[in-house]
Structure 1
Amino acid sequence: MDNLSTMPKYEAYKNSGVEALGNIPTHWKINRFKNIFKFGKGLTITKENLQDEGVPCVNYGEIHSKYGFEVDPAKHPLKCVHTDYLKRSKSSLLKHGDFVFADTSEDVEGSGNFTYLNSSKDVFAGYHTVIARPKSRINPRFLAYVIDSTSYRNQIRKKVKGVKVFSITQTILKDTNLWFPLEAEQTTIAKFLDTKTAQIDEAITIKEKQIELLKERKQIITQQAVTRGLNPNIPMKDSGVDWVGEIPKHWVLKRLKYVLDERNERSKTGEEPLFMMSQIHGLVVRSDYHVKEEVAASNIDNKIVYENDLVFNKLKAHLGVFFKSNIDFKGLVSPDYAVYKPKAYIHDMRYLEVLFRHPKYIEQFIIRATGIVQGFIRLYTDDLFDISVPIAPEEEQIEILKYIDSESEKFDIAIKLQVQQIGKLKEYKTTLINSAVTGKIKVNNH
């Protein structure tokens, strides 16, 4: 990464008059957004109007999550609308270099998210979008970097209002300021940023792949420990169940009905704290994660959970939504959950939680689950209890869990380091773009 503080600067600067921008090179020009662009609206459609064939259409969802900054239907797969819209909604058809803003955002940081059409093919602006079309010929690539810069985005963030949804209106956009060097400089800056941001993005991609490999390796080590033990030289035996395969000779294979009991204790008062599932934090107290608790009018008759119980979301078990309770007091879960306590063979239910995350067990959950309820298949206790599990002696289970904790910590530290480095790369990219498009550094034409 280049040291921005040592990069060349312009000879003279002036006050831009824009608080979010500060000083700019003396020869650069400031202009209002409303003087540069004319406005339009995206199609008045819903998701139901989208199809696989027809005219590509970019909607606010793609702007927020997939194709921010630029979109090209030759590279970016878009949903389409019927060709009839070419006749009746021409005003929402984009031209090369048009900018499309998402008109709402769930947070202030996403306010001003946009894309620009980097293609001459027919593309529509879809629902919840604002079209901004340059009034005269302009370098759209440079302008995209300007609109993506912190100095520009801060102008929007200061003006938007909202609580759960933040709206971006034409009025807000019109009232912002843009800035421009000479045309040749615009091209030089855009080419410089294309090269540098591509290098940064490549470095980020490499680190993201490293994270996936670390997670994969962590999962493999964990799964081997609970299915084959810690000694690679231990004698093995056929488990007698095809999908389980071989297990250590001194282990036993038991159906879950001999290992678990379903807990059907119900709350008589509903006064116990309500628990919820978090894919990041496991089973947690709901009120700790919701400022204003969204709970049922009455929790009477909800299921009781104790520490060391294994709690399944019956509708999402096949998605890995099950956790051992590490909470040291009893609480409640809704009737959509199944609660299991150890019956025999298992001391710490985390042993089973780890085992059940093995792809072979997830596959069994899918095979044995039945029906469709609100789009999810349901895993019933009788079907769960029919599954066989390999079980190590209790002392060995403890050693396996200690080993998993120790190895997981090593992987988690390595993953955290990669995440931190990705954060620094993204931060540097943001600073680099802002520095280049505001003239804080002078980009030379090589």
Structure 2
Amino acid sequence: MNEDWLIYALRSEVFRQQMDLHTRGATVQGVNLFDLRRGILPIPPLEEQRAIAEFLDHHTARTDALVTKQKRLLNLFDEKRQSLITQAVTTGLDSTVTTQSTEAQWLAEIPEHWDVVRTRFVARLESGHTPSRSNDEYWEDCNIPWVTTSDIKPFREGQKIHLEDTEYKISQLGLENSGARILPEGTVFVSRTASVGFSGIMADKMATSQDFANWVCGDEIIPEYLLYVFRSMDQEFDRLMQGSTHQTIYMPDIRSFKTPLPPVEEQREIVEHIQNETEQLWNLIDNVERSIDLLEEKRQALITAAVTGQIDVTENRDETHATHR
């Protein structure tokens, strides 16, 4: 048997579908060796196996090259998006203004008419808590939205802004017997353990677990602007994280956060600019991701068609050899 052909055959949709029928496990799914051996594949003559493998090497290489280019484009769009946000919240929209240096480690220079303040001076800092798991009464009649690390996944890419609902809820009794508090709509939350540095805005009243630092904005700062500030602080988060396995930013460091602070009206202009510009970039990113999906589907369909004999690879053999010369 030709090894290259076998690899393609095992990647085919036909083989995957057979394995899906035998997949077991609630948490970690897998296929046992007995079922794996029972996989049925049409096996052509050895010479044809070689021809199929050669054909697929040639044609999938083209697709792989296109996918690589598209992924490179995705990275460029993402870098541009991040750079746009960082520049807007640290230097503003007017490149002609006079600047001043700052003592904040993650900031270089800001416009002269801006301030740099401790974040907790313009937004009230709140932590969260988890009601005792050993008391079953605390976990009955749960209807209060409760932000946990399970809610972070949609915020990882940076497109989502508002959290409308939570995966888990807590009860009023649990809330009253813990350090958790119900925080108002518009509170900005930042994950500080495990998945460190991901941020969003509460679209309703919610409580959070202790895995979050929460900021209730005062009159001097708007939630959307503060959110984009946090989304510009990756290097600062990396500097402050502690722990090799379970990384955390501790509350004393969070209390020391500093924020560039333009006038409120300028904050609104910055937020509007970021949202307009990043919306265009997200549209481009969506288009590229769809292109990648289509290319990978085409690659998968080609592999399946070739190893199941739906394509006569001998008709393409001369073309393949000519291209390799």
- Normalised by the length of structure 1, the TM-score is 0.60
2:189 to 290, 311, 317: 311
- Contact 2:127–2:210, Cα closer than 8 Å, also in 1: no
- Contact 2:106–2:236, Cα closer than 8 Å, also in 1: no
- Contact 2:128–2:207, Cα closer than 8 Å, also in 1: no
Q: Per-residue CA shift, 1:3-57, capped at 9, x if unaligned?
A: xxxxxxxxxxxxxxxxxxxxxxxxxxxxxxxxxxxxxxxxxxxxxxxxxxxxxxx
1:271 CA drift (Å): 4.6
2:193 is aligned with what amino acid?
Answer: L
Structure-2 residue corresponding to 1:142: 5
Q: Secondary structure at the match of 2:70?
A: helix
1:164 CA drift (Å): 3.5
Q: Does 1:220 align with 2:94?
A: no
In structure 2, what is the Cα distance between the partners aligned to 1:263 and 1:374?
25
Structure-2 residue corresponding to 1:171: 34
In structure 2, what is the Cα distance between the partners aligned to 1:373 and 1:169?
34
1:376 is aligned with what amino acid?
Answer: Q
Structure-1 residue corresponding to 2:145: 273
Structure-2 residue corresponding to 1:336: 211
Q: Does 1:393 align with 2:225?
A: no
Q: Secondary structure at the match of 2:278?
A: helix
Alignment CA distance shift 1:279-1:266 (3 Å): closer
1:195 CA drift (Å): 1.2
- Contact 2:145–2:169, Cα closer than 8 Å, also in 1: no
In structure 2, what is the Cα distance between the partners aligned to 1:333 and 1:228?
32
In structure 2, what is the Cα distance between the partners aligned to 1:271 and 1:155?
43
Q: Does 1:356 align with 2:230?
A: yes
Query: What pairs up with 1:19-418 in 2 under 5 angstroms?
Result: 138-239=1-102, 241=104, 243-263=106-126, 271-276=143-148, 277-281=151-155, 283=163, 285-287=165-167, 298-300=174-176, 301=178, 302-316=180-194, 319-325=196-202, 327-328=203-204, 330-346=205-221, 348-358=222-232, 361-368=233-240, 372=243, 375-380=246-251, 382-418=252-288
Q: Per-residue CA shift, 1:241-293, capped at 9, x if unaligned?
A: 56522211222222223212124799998752222332324645333xxxxx5
Alignment CA distance shift 1:204-1:259 (3 Å): same
1:149 CA drift (Å): 1.1
Alignment CA distance shift 1:150-1:399 (3 Å): same
- Contact 2:55–2:313, Cα closer than 8 Å, also in 1: yes
Structure-2 residue corresponding to 1:441: 311
Percent pairwise identity: 26
* Structure label with greater radius of gyration: 1
Paired residues in the alignment total 296
Q: Secondary structure at the match of 1:233?
A: coil
In structure 2, what is the Cα distance between the partners aligned to 1:345 and 1:437?
65
Q: Secondary structure at the match of 1:376?
A: coil
1:156 CA drift (Å): 2.3
Runs of at least 5 residues in structure 1 that lack an aligned partner in the other structure: 1-137, 288-292
In structure 2, what is the Cα distance between the partners aligned to 1:251 and 1:139?
68
- Contact 2:15–2:40, Cα closer than 8 Å, also in 1: yes
Structure-2 residue corresponding to 1:71: none
In structure 1, what is the Cα distance between the partners aligned to 2:79 and 2:6?
41
1:150 CA drift (Å): 1.2
1:379 is aligned with what amino acid?
Answer: Y
Q: Secondary structure at the match of 2:145?
A: coil
- Normalised by the length of structure 2, the TM-score is 0.80
1:320 CA drift (Å): 1.5
1:400 CA drift (Å): 0.7
Runs of at least 5 residues in structure 2 that lack an aligned partner in the other structure: 132-137, 319-325
Q: Secondary structure at the match of 1:335?
A: coil
1:321 is aligned with what amino acid?
Answer: F
Structure-2 residue corresponding to 1:426: 296
In structure 2, what is the Cα distance between the partners aligned to 1:425 and 1:151?
19
1:238 CA drift (Å): 2.9
Quick check: which one's strand share is greater? 1
Q: Secondary structure at the match of 2:42?
A: strand
- Contact 1:230–1:400, Cα closer than 8 Å, also in 2: yes
In structure 2, what is the Cα distance between the partners aligned to 1:307 and 1:425?
42
Q: Secondary structure at the match of 1:411?
A: helix
Alignment CA distance shift 1:364-1:434 (3 Å): closer
1:442 CA drift (Å): 0.5
In structure 1, what is the Cα distance between the partners aligned to 2:105 and 2:191?
27
